Structure 1
Amino acid sequence: MITIYYPEYDKEVESWESQLREMVVAYRLQASPELVEPELREQDKVIAGTDAIAAYLKKLRQDVDDWRAPGCGV
């Protein structure tokens, strides 16, 4: 499961939530006011910062789309 910890809910977090919902992957958003920048955690991975999270989600989208392409993943 992907968990995104964020200091304050904003348009960026809203966008990430929308992307994760569209990909139909397990996720959780968690407010953490003590954080300076958002963090994405998945198993042992920790991705910190807005740009790094956006890049991670872009790559995840590509992987999900490739897996769901006809003849792949099934």
Structure 2
Amino acid sequence: MATFEEQLKALESVVERLERGDLPLEEALKLFEQGVGLSDGCKKELEAAEGRVQVLLQNRNGTRRVEDLDLEA
């Protein structure tokens, strides 16, 4: 299975090719379908990571607190 980063890079490549607008319809549809699959895979990876972060932020009394992550730091 490809890593999140590999899937994201492949998705970016698909989007770039589709945005050029020079593909025959059938090829564009196949690429779009591939892109949807890659997007779904990335979404699942992100949801799993979010779940792991929430568990790590779990308070000692057992309740979860959800915090926004400062990704710019």
TM-based fold match above 0.5: no
Higher RCO (CA 8 Å, separation ≥ 6 residues) = 1
TM-score by length of 2: 0.37
**Rg (Cα) greater in structure:** 2
TM-score by length of 1: 0.36
Which is richer in helix?
Answer: 2
